[in-house]
Structure 1
């Protein structure tokens, strides 16, 4: 307690038992009556639910009461998206935004951020696949050039064409083009 400026206040706060509410034991109907705390409480209760879209109607109802600022809504939905489960978060937020005139702008901002994250991830995955494909094509091209070089050398040394073709895996067309420059 020595590190607190107001030692008596710190002792009163940190040394006495405090009340802790287990929101998971509350009925959703009761939570809906909590006015300004209802949305946060409902989200806290169901944050690990398989699909948060099951709470769509309750969330829309609570937002319609206009208890919340845009900052509060943004904070709650960011939490809901990061920690909760929604199979299609973009659609979930967009549909809620359509039903909530007051918070439509704030919710659409979140939806746009999700879309941008998705685009960036898509670009990153595409780039990674492109690099992998490029490496593979480069390896294959290098192997082909090596086979052609070996075939040229073997033919120059007098090895039979059929043996060279079989050994290098070159096609008839590739074999015919070996000495064309």
Structure 2
């Protein structure tokens, strides 16, 4: 069965390679209101690599680029050659339209292009037996039309108050952390909002001990910026609040505090090494520069001596001492 597509594919693509035939075909099948928007002079077939890799050879397709109201757009033409028609054709087309839009963005464009899909059908059943609407690809078309492919639901934490977020049950812990992590003030100013004893105890004892530790780690390392906390007494105060809220988690909290302290010591050691290296480099550069200047003075003194200059003149122009000049003379 797949072999049947080869002569169809050859004729289909061979036909659309001819500009005049393509224009006639588009004029015959595109609605006039759409055709008026297309700058026909910009119509150009694009490389084959833009076409999707269908899992079989029962389809042929070509892509044209063009300008629609001055904007780069695409016309995607698919020919279905199989005798058993594809009930999911609307979904196939949707997938490739999205793929082509993604390709467009990867080329550096900032906005999505218009993609006009056309399907040429010459199957065994007449007329075409399936819906062209994507909704009919769902188990419940009416429900899908009502719920699917709509503008996404937005949860904007930046405009929510802490009080509102705290009504979201256990999910509020994550939301509070995400909302406040960019703030420069001490996390102690909002930590008490997060650490509801009932909420954190529930997370530790009923949800997951590991998740509790993930929350603690995120608070210290991201929200508290561990290196900043470690240099103030805010860390001790923060950990004390955690201990007061969830005394059952004392072992995990103290273990984490010890790990954080060790990391702080290592950072201090590393910082000391870096400072030492920087000081050494600066001293070395200074010594090198001094040595270079001294060598330059000796070179100038040698040239002055060769020209018969007096010792006093050499001292004046080079700044060398009597002892240095004596060395040159001997």
Whether the 8 Å CA contact 1:147–1:170 is kept in 2: the answer is: yes
Give yes or no for the alignment of 1:137 onto 2:278.
Answer: no
Report the structure, 1 or 2, having the larger helix content. Answer: 1
- Alpha-carbon spacing, 1:130–1:161, altered in 2? closer, same or farther (3 Å): same
Cα distance in 2 for partners of 1:63, 1:21 equals 26
Cα distance in 2 for partners of 1:59, 1:123 equals 40
Match of 1:71 among 203, 207, 214: 214
What secondary structure is seen at the aligned counterpart in 2 of 1:159?
Answer: coil
Whether the 8 Å CA contact 1:60–1:99 is kept in 2: the answer is: no
Extract unaligned runs of 5+ from structure 1: none
Q: Calculate the TM-score normalised by the size of structure 1.
A: 0.64
* Residue equivalent to 1:116: 266
The ranges of structure 1 where at least 4 consecutive aligned residues each deviate by more than 6 angstroms after the TM superposition are none
Report the structure, 1 or 2, having the larger strand content. Answer: 2
* Residue equivalent to 1:31: 165
* Residue equivalent to 2:242: 100
Whether the 8 Å CA contact 1:97–1:108 is kept in 2: the answer is: no
Whether the 8 Å CA contact 2:187–2:223 is kept in 1: the answer is: no
TM-fit CA distance, 1:141: 0.9
Match of 1:55 among 189, 194, 212: 189
Per-residue displacement from partner, 1:97-117 (whole Å, max 9, x unpaired)? 244333232244235435534
Extract unaligned runs of 5+ from structure 2: 1-90, 96-136, 205-211, 244-249
Question: Higher RCO, 1 or 2 (CA under 8 Å, sep at least 6)?
Answer: 1
TM-fit CA distance, 1:148: 3.2
Cα distance in 2 for partners of 1:94, 1:8 equals 56
Whether the 8 Å CA contact 1:81–1:89 is kept in 2: the answer is: yes
What secondary structure is seen at the aligned counterpart in 1 of 2:170?
Answer: helix
What secondary structure is seen at the aligned counterpart in 2 of 1:49?
Answer: coil
Cα distance in 1 for partners of 2:138, 2:269 equals 53
Cα distance in 1 for partners of 2:160, 2:228 equals 27
What secondary structure is seen at the aligned counterpart in 2 of 1:50?
Answer: coil
What secondary structure is seen at the aligned counterpart in 1 of 2:237?
Answer: helix
TM-fit CA distance, 1:23: 2.0
Aligned length: 172
Q: Calculate the TM-score normalised by the size of structure 2.
A: 0.40
CA RMSD of aligned residues (A): 4.1
- Structure having the higher Rg: 2
TM-fit CA distance, 1:165: 0.8
Cα distance in 2 for partners of 1:117, 1:98 equals 24
Per-residue displacement from partner, 1:14-46 (whole Å, max 9, x unpaired)? 746553322223322343454533332222222
Cα distance in 2 for partners of 1:98, 1:22 equals 31
Cα distance in 1 for partners of 2:254, 2:279 equals 37
